[in-house]
Amino acid sequence: MRILVLPGDGIGPEITAATLLVLRAAATRFGLNLEFVEDVVGHASLERHGTTVRSDLLDQARATDGLILGPTATFEFREPEKGLINPSMYFRKGLDLFANIRPACTYPGLPSKVGEFDLVVVRENTEGFYADRNMEQGNAEILVTKDVVVSMRRITREACTRIAAAAFKLAMDRKRHVSAVHKANVLKVGDGMFLDECRKQAALFPEVKLDEFIVDAMMAHVVRAPSRFDVIVTTNMFGDILTDLTAELSGSIGLGGSLNAGADYAMAQAAHGSAPDIAGKNLANPFSLILSATQLLSWHGRKRGEPAFTNAATSIDKAVAAAIAAREITRDIGGSLGTRETGEALAARLTARPQ
């Protein structure tokens, strides 16, 4: 498996290095042929090439079997005409990575205020309110006058259908329960279409239970009783907000894995930002990117019919849980290790103690 690795900004290079340590340990243990092709995006690319993302990186990504993207300073990259391109948006749109899969669960050894849970949010990834990716040309935010802004939201039946189908297919391998999150009481046409497509998929998967929640009520339900949910499917912006909440409920947003998947390509990406305030201090929690990388291994294994990759992914996930229970973790979740040491401990656990 050939993987394009783009460490990104801030804490990105640190957590990427820890992730590669773990992947190399898993490769040794499971006999995986992993090849890493490293390049740059973000500020390092801007300094070197005058743009945050070179156009040839898209071709590189298409020529590999997967992509690992570290966090980047996306808030600063809002002028693509000046080379300030959001790398996350660039690859999601360019590779048509329409499904953002974000699991969240509690771990033994980490206190939880909401009880145990294990759920996954399936978030549409290519349209919605995201002004930098929902138009063929131009931007979906318009400054009408200096005091008036119009923001347009794009919802298509095709995108609704495929994200709903992804959720129901995933639910078949879990507890066979899908919850659709929407605002159709206000966004009657767009979210009405989204709900229609979810209901059509429910008819195609009679073994799967479908329930529906208005997004603001859903936030209260998830905080009150997250254990009642299994697979949650929703549109882009609602999913973006909801997944930060579910990751934090699991113990830390630093535990939020994230896979951006399409029909042909997939990208592992930490669920959090670049945290420039702690960059270079060996403090960042690497588990989000590590757990994202395990999803990439699993996706590749299923796509290619190679169980060694899915077995390796399962082993890393179990090793993360064991490391948390043993307090081989960073300070943000109650440990005392640095970023590098956490990666080293997890890699050692994989090679020395079969999971």
Taking 90 as the threshold, does the pLDDT of residue 255 lie above it? yes
Q: What is the pLDDT of residues 289-327, one digit of tens each?
A: 999 999 999 999 999 999 999 999 999 999 999 999 999
Exposure b/e, 97-126, CB count within 10 A at least 16 = b: bbbbbbbbbbbebbeeeeeebebbbbbbbb
pLDDT of residue 109: 87
Taking 90 as the threshold, does the pLDDT of residue 352 lie above it? no
pLDDT of residue 15: 97
Residue 354: pLDDT band (50, 70, 90) is: low
Q: What is the pLDDT of residues 148-181, one digit of tens each?
A: 999 889 999 999 999 999 999 999 999 999 999 9
Q: Average per-residue pLDDT in the chain?
A: 94
pLDDT of residue 76: 78
CA–CA–CA angle 337, 267, 29 (5° rounding): 55
Look up residue 22 and give its two tokens: 């773990």
Residue written as token pair 């279409």: 193
pLDDT of residue 176: 98
**233/186 Cα distance (integer angstroms):** 18
pLDDT of residue 24: 97
Taking 80 as the threshold, does the pLDDT of residue 355 lie above it? no
Percentage of the chain lying above the pLDDT 90 cut: 86
Choose between 113 and 13: higher pLDDT: 13
Report H helices in 31-106: 43-49, 56-63, 87-94
- Asked whether the CA dihedral 343, 307, 174, 101 is positive or negative, the reply is positive
Look up residue 234 and give its two tokens: 């929703």
Non-local (6+) Cβ contacts of 286 within 8 A are 14, 15, 18, 19, 330, 339, 342, 343
Choose between 132 and 48: higher pLDDT: 48
Q: What is the pLDDT of residues 69-78, one digit of tens each?
A: 999 987 777 7
Q: Which domains does the chain have, with CATH numbers?
A: 1-97+259-355 (3.40.718.10), 113-249 (3.40.718.10)
Own/partner pairs for 293-298, CB < 8 Å, 24+ apart?
293/19, 293/22, 293/23, 293/68, 293/268, 294/257, 295/101, 295/103, 295/257, 295/258, 295/259, 295/268, 296/3, 296/66, 296/67, 296/68, 296/259, 296/266, 296/267, 296/268, 297/1, 297/23, 297/26, 297/32
Q: What is the pLDDT of residues 61-70, one digit of tens each?
A: 999 999 999 9
Do 313 and 297 touch, CB atoms closer than 8 A? yes
Do 23 and 344 touch, CB atoms closer than 8 A? no
Query: Average pLDDT in the 215-232 region?
Result: 97
pTM above 0.85, yes or no: yes
**107/91 Cα distance (integer angstroms):** 31
pLDDT of residue 2: 97
